[in-house]
Amino acid sequence: MAPLHGALLAVGRIAGAGAERDRTKKTLDVRISSLRRTRRDSARSPRMLVTVRGFGFCLEISE
């Protein structure tokens, strides 16, 4: 697989208010956590997966 340098893989705009927004944020957080575990990346000092609250995340793979 070719390296993806700074490739934007997903954009999860979080819109709305109240319970809908909280559910959307939780869903996005669970997916990001799952992807971090799969890639063995740290949440405290990420090397590959960088999140931007409200916009989504970027995954950078370099070999």
State the total domains in the chain.
1
pTM higher than 0.85, yes or no?
no
Q: Considering only CA atoms, which of 62, 52, 57 is closest in space to residue 9?
A: 57
Pair of tokens at residue 50: 């960088």
As a whole-number percent, the residues of the chain with pLDDT over 70 amount to 22
Would the pLDDT of 2 be above 50?
no
Q: Given this model, what pLDDT does residue 40 score?
A: 78
Between 41 and 11, the more confident residue is 41
Do the beta carbons of residue 36 and residue 49 sit within 8 Å?
yes
Query: For the chain, what's the residue count?
Result: 63
Q: Considering only CA atoms, which of 46, 19, 17, 20 is closest in space to residue 33?
A: 46
Would the pLDDT of 63 be above 60?
no
Please report the sign of the dihedral spanned by the C-alpha atoms of residue 7, residue 9, residue 15, residue 21. negative
Would the pLDDT of 37 be above 50?
yes
Residue 12 belongs to what domain range? 4-61
